[in-house]
Structure 1
Amino acid sequence: MAVLVVTGTGTEVGKTVTTAVLARAALAAGRSVAVLKPAQTGVSGDERGDVDEVVRLAGGVTAVELARFPDPLAPATAARRAGLAPVGARETADAAAKLATDHDLVLVEGAGGLLVRFDAAGSTLADAARLLGAPVLLVASAGLGTLNTTALTAEALRARGVDLLGVVVGSWPGAPDLAARCNLADLPAVADAPLLGAVPEGAGAYEPVAFRAAAAGWVAPPLDGTWDATRFTAEQAPVRGSL
């Protein structure tokens, strides 16, 4: 796997921290890593963006941002409002392919969900993944409502002939409720793809040294980690009549 596309079921589900986890786990396994953010929205000038956060947490990666737009909106809308050229699926795929020539792993982090529009033509992260022939990792929220958005995203990928590698819970709560606990079994079922990790809530606030030491324990072996989905799900399973 030279390129892995990281998307989410929506905004604020933990995509950037999960991308940092993936980067760190790969680095720890001895792989060279690049992180590509096609369109960073909601920042301008010298403000820190998502790739900067990945570098802070994971360290040692090549970080590339193709464009940034100041409004915290979908890339196509943010580019239009800024009067700037958008970054489409083709530009994203070309940049990722170039990075893949001299890196073992390229992580492409989208903005928002899978079908957020890059440009006026309606190209999306799913189109970039299809052009690359790259699998997609879906970052999902833990609690109520996540099954529907996960199933919809998985269905959209299948309709486009794009492989869904698996699902990672982007922010596993310290005190999970009944829905979150049950979702550990239900997420892979509705996605028809394996559960490949659970990142602890607040992991992005860890000191980098602690984050780097723990990251591989939050994702499964296909992502260069040691996390065990069967064991984690069994440990978190609700006892009948509890909660």
Structure 2
Amino acid sequence: MAVIVVTGTGTGIGKTVVTAALAAAARAQGRTVAVLKPAQTGLAPGEPGDADDAVRLAGDGVRGVELARYPEPLAPATAARRAGMRPVLPRDAAEAAEKLAAEHDLVLIEGAGGLLVRFDDAGATLADVARLLDAPVLVVVPAGLGTLNATALTAEALRARQLELLGVVVGSWPQRPDLAERCNLTDLPEAAGAPLLGVVPQGAGALAPDVFQGRATDWLAPRLGGTWRP
């Protein structure tokens, strides 16, 4: 896979940390990696964004690219409109990814929020980027109660658009999982209609980069370059 689109069932569920783990695992295999963030919202100029965080955790040799930044922490379409700035269009992201793919073994595209969060007022979404690139989509999900429904809805939206769901990764696995969280490990593949491809522990993003890089392969399944097995 030259390009993987990383989305989630919502915001704040660990997409950036999962993206960093994917990059670290690929780098451990000797692959060159780029992380592309089409639209970053909620940050002022100069503040580290999601692409910067992924690069910091994944280590040297990973390139981070951000196409647009909007100051308010809103959906990209809303943030662009309120800032009076041009929105990012799917073709912008697809063209950037294609250029990066010509220079790197793997390009990871991290979306904002969930799959159908709007990029512009015409209704373009990350799903349109995946379609233009014919790229598989990895869905990051929370561990707890409610995740099965949100996962099933995202999977259904992908199938309706004839997009490939590569699999599901739990973005933040607690140290002491409750009953629902433990049961969800079994039920998530059925809800998604796709395999569970990893479980990233809670707090992984706070690890020192060298520790993060050393452990990343433990959290991801072999299909994603790791050693984790359900």
State the alpha-carbon separation in 2 of the partners of residues 16 and 106 from structure 1. Answer: 14
Write out per-residue CA displacement over residues 74-108 of structure 1, whole angstroms, 9 at most, x where no aligned residue: 00000011110000111111111111111100000
Write out per-residue CA displacement over residues 36-65 of structure 1, whole angstroms, 9 at most, x where no aligned residue: 000000002101100110111111211100
- Find the counterpart in structure 2 of residue 33 from structure 1: 33
- Find the counterpart in structure 2 of residue 48 from structure 1: 48
Q: Which amino acid aligns with 1:131?
A: L
State the alpha-carbon separation in 2 of the partners of residues 86 and 35 from structure 1. Answer: 20
Higher Rg of the two aligned structures: 1
State the alpha-carbon separation in 1 of the partners of residues 210 and 27 from structure 2. Answer: 14
State the alpha-carbon separation in 1 of the partners of residues 128 and 177 from structure 2. Answer: 35
Could you tell me the TM-score, scaled by structure 2's length?
0.99
State the alpha-carbon separation in 2 of the partners of residues 121 and 92 from structure 1. Answer: 16
- Find the counterpart in structure 2 of residue 151 from structure 1: 152
- Find the counterpart in structure 1 of residue 120 from structure 2: 119
Secondary structure in 2 matching 1:113: coil
Shift of 1:147: 0.3
State the alpha-carbon separation in 1 of the partners of residues 143 and 89 from structure 2. Answer: 30
Unaligned runs of 5+ in 2: none
Q: Which amino acid aligns with 1:196?
A: L
- Find the counterpart in structure 2 of residue 189 from structure 1: 190
**Pairwise CA RMSD:** 0.5
Equivalences for residues 203-222 of structure 1 within 5 A: 203-222=204-223
- Find the counterpart in structure 1 of residue 18 from structure 2: 18
- Find the counterpart in structure 1 of residue 4 from structure 2: 4
Unaligned runs of 5+ in 1: 230-243
Q: Which amino acid aligns with 1:4?
A: I
Shift of 1:219: 0.2
State the alpha-carbon separation in 2 of the partners of residues 149 and 98 from structure 1. Answer: 33
Q: Which amino acid aligns with 1:144?
A: L
Secondary structure in 2 matching 1:108: strand
Secondary structure in 2 matching 1:112: coil
Secondary structure in 1 matching 2:91: helix
Secondary structure in 2 matching 1:171: strand
Shift of 1:10: 0.1
Q: Which amino acid aligns with 2:86?
A: A
State the alpha-carbon separation in 2 of the partners of residues 20 and 90 from structure 1. Answer: 24
Secondary structure in 2 matching 1:96: helix
How many residues were matched structurally?
Answer: 229
Q: Which runs of 4+ in 1 moved over 4 A?
A: none
- Find the counterpart in structure 1 of residue 77 from structure 2: 76
